[in-house]
Amino acid sequence: MTTTTEATHDIDVPASGHRARRSPRSARTRVATTVAVVAGVAILAAACSSTPSNSASSSTSGAGSNNGGGTTTSAGASNATVKTAQNSQFGTVLVNSSGMALYTFGGDHGGQSACTGACAQAWPAVTVPAGTTPTAGPGVTGTLGTSHQSNGTEQVTYNGALLYTFVSDSTPGQVTGNGVANFTVVKVSSSAGSGGGAGAATTTTPRGGGY
């Protein structure tokens, strides 16, 4: 009689016979954590997107406020055709837009300049482009106008008198030509405060000379 021996092998099988399952509690914890992260990102994104909008609005409002009337006033005063300035010897005098003293010529008549040739080189006329109205700065109490000249220019007038500058005046407010060659610096009367009327251009007696 033949006896058959069967070989047996031990096979490790998990006690349950199935793959290990994840704990339900662990799964719930992961889901809760994911939801919390997503919600946090959404809140942060909303906060970031709203901040620039508020900053831009404030910046624009400030810029509009800073561009108010202050700039306009400064530009108007500096670009005026005729302004006033203080001179230690003559008081308040008329000056052009560059601050150079203005003069009138005793030889002019009828709105036409008698200063030509060498005179015109030493005493340049104050002019404006055709069709331009001369403007007055603070303290100019007389009337500004223009007079068309034979050379085609529009010469500025103050209370009807033609205006000039003097080449020897090298700095704003300087007056070296008063009484020279029948030219007189234009002084603004200070009587307006006491008399109640508008001040006018006044002149001094020239020292003679001419062209």
DSSP sequence for 51-69:
HHHHHHHHHHHHHHHHTSH
Structure tokens, 73 = 């006033």
pLDDT digit string (tens) for the chain, length 211 residues: 444 444 444 545 444 444 545 555 555 555 455 545 445 544 444 444 443 333 332 222 233 333 333 222 223 456 899 999 999 999 999 999 999 999 999 999 999 999 999 999 999 999 999 999 999 999 999 999 999 999 999 999 999 999 999 999 999 989 999 999 999 999 997 644 333 333 344 333 334 445 6
CB 47 within 8 A of CB 100: no
> What is the gyration radius of the CA atoms in the chain, in angstroms?
45
Determine how many CB atoms are found less than 10 A away from the CB of residue 162.
23
Show me where the domains of the chain are located.
24-67, 80-202
Least Cα distance to 144 among 165, 124, 130, 128 occurs for: 128
Structure tokens, 110 = 């009828």
